Copies of this chain bind each other. A is one copy, B any other.
């Protein structure tokens, strides 16, 4: 073994008195290696501090055991939590995780970020950038590479070859709205997140459905982004309306940051929560239980989401042909696939309503 170079398989082989192939068999848990031989090889590995060269392995197997995660580039609570959950799930499956985050939230930026992941040779991509613009970018890549989109909307992507893992935000919004309606609220408004986001659209949809199911008029105010600042700005306008007779008595906010801003604006304008107006948020971010008042919110199942995404990705991968030539996959092997099946939703996970002090019966 030459000095200065990390030990290679051949070095281990020489030391153990076997061929490099036997070392490879030990490493890959091949059955036909005698225990004594295995021991010797393992000892040599240990003594030399040998680590397999992943690049060499990836080169010959045409697999990187790396999955890419495409996400939005800021510390949004939801995406950040989801990324961590996916990462944990991936590592549990023996995969490495490469992250690419979006500088801007448009299709072009997403295409660039996705490109980088593909360049890196990932075996699959999990998209945690729940914007419609972004979702369609993956359509080009998905036929070649397994792609799982973490999204909110079971009903949307019809022709996309990617698979979808969803939190049923529509259901979550229904739960939130029905909670308020059950408290006897009738004038409930929704402060929605930005239009291009799956979550925002679905939550607004769920809210609308719940209202209409009881014959009530839905009122949606779009906040523009997910920030507390926007929540505050909208809250200032709402505060005035809340005071009028027939004004809203409850608000479903698109997420907890918006809700935070709403609470602040209401407080500033002397509108008491929940006495004058009830507020519900989404996400259950750290601290929302300790706002004043404690925020009723729809908690997101991030861990389950991450696991479902990884499971789907692996399943997808095993169904896909590897990069090397091989026989075409049998058309009936995976009957759930096919563009005429509509959206290829692999999992739908239910969120959970957490009732706290920001909701009460209307005055």
Docked complex Cα distance between A228 and B294 (Å)? 12
- CB-based contact A75/B81 at 8 Å: yes
Docked complex Cα distance between A257 and B263 (Å)? 17
- CB-based contact B66/A98 at 8 Å: yes
- CB-based contact A84/B77 at 8 Å: no
User: Does A105 have its Cβ within 8 Å of any Cβ on chain B?
Assistant: no
- CB-based contact A323/B5 at 8 Å: yes
Chain B positions within 8 Å of A159 at CB level: none
- CB-based contact A261/B286 at 8 Å: no
Docked complex Cα distance between A264 and B229 (Å)? 20
State the Cβ distance, A303 to closest chain B Cβ, in Å: 11
Docked complex Cα distance between A4 and B257 (Å)? 49
Chain B positions within 8 Å of A58 at CB level: 54-55, 58
Stretch at the interface among A115-123, A149-157, A215-223: A115-123
Docked complex Cα distance between A74 and B303 (Å)? 11
Q: Please give the count of copies of this chain that the complex contains.
A: 2
Specify which of B73, B121, B324 is in contact with A4 (CB 8 Å cutoff): B324
Contact mask for chain A residues 1-34; partner B; CB cutoff 8 A; 1 contact, 0 none: 0111110000000000000000000000000000
| In the complex with contacts A75-B77, A116-B91, A257-B287, A2-B229 CB distance below 8 A | no
State the Cβ distance, A265 to closest chain B Cβ, in Å: 8
State the Cβ distance, A67 to closest chain B Cβ, in Å: 10
- CB-based contact A228/B289 at 8 Å: yes
| In the complex with contacts A75-B77, A84-B73, A120-B101 CB distance below 8 A | no
Docked complex Cα distance between A257 and B290 (Å)? 9
Give the residues from 251 to 307 in chain A that come closer than 8 angstroms, CB to CB, to chain B. Answer: 256-257, 260-261, 263-264, 267, 286-287, 289-292, 294
Docked complex Cα distance between A292 and B262 (Å)? 11
User: Does A41 have its Cβ within 8 Å of any Cβ on chain B?
Assistant: no
Give the residues from 26 to 69 in chain A that come closer than 8 angstroms, CB to CB, to chain B. Answer: 51-56, 58-59, 64, 66, 69
- CB-based contact A261/B232 at 8 Å: no
| In the complex with contacts A73-B88, A87-B101, A325-B119 CB distance below 8 A | no
| In the complex with contacts A80-B75, A98-B98, A229-B290, A55-B59 CB distance below 8 A | yes
Chain B positions within 8 Å of A64 at CB level: 55
Specify which of B5, B53, B267 is in contact with A121 (CB 8 Å cutoff): B53
- CB-based contact A119/B54 at 8 Å: yes
Docked complex Cα distance between A287 and B81 (Å)? 17
- CB-based contact B84/A101 at 8 Å: yes
User: Does A246 have its Cβ within 8 Å of any Cβ on chain B?
Assistant: no
Q: In the complex, which residue of chain B has the Cβ closest to the Cβ of A74?
A: B84
Docked complex Cα distance between A228 and B73 (Å)? 25
- CB-based contact A119/B51 at 8 Å: yes
- CB-based contact B292/A267 at 8 Å: yes
- CB-based contact A257/B286 at 8 Å: yes
- CB-based contact A54/B121 at 8 Å: yes
In the complex, the 3 A-B pairs of residues with the closest C-beta atoms, listed nearest first: A4-B325, A55-B58, A264-B290
10 contacts between A and B (CB under 8 A): A4-B325, A51-B118, A74-B84, A97-B100, A228-B287, A228-B290, A261-B290, A263-B292, A264-B290, A264-B292
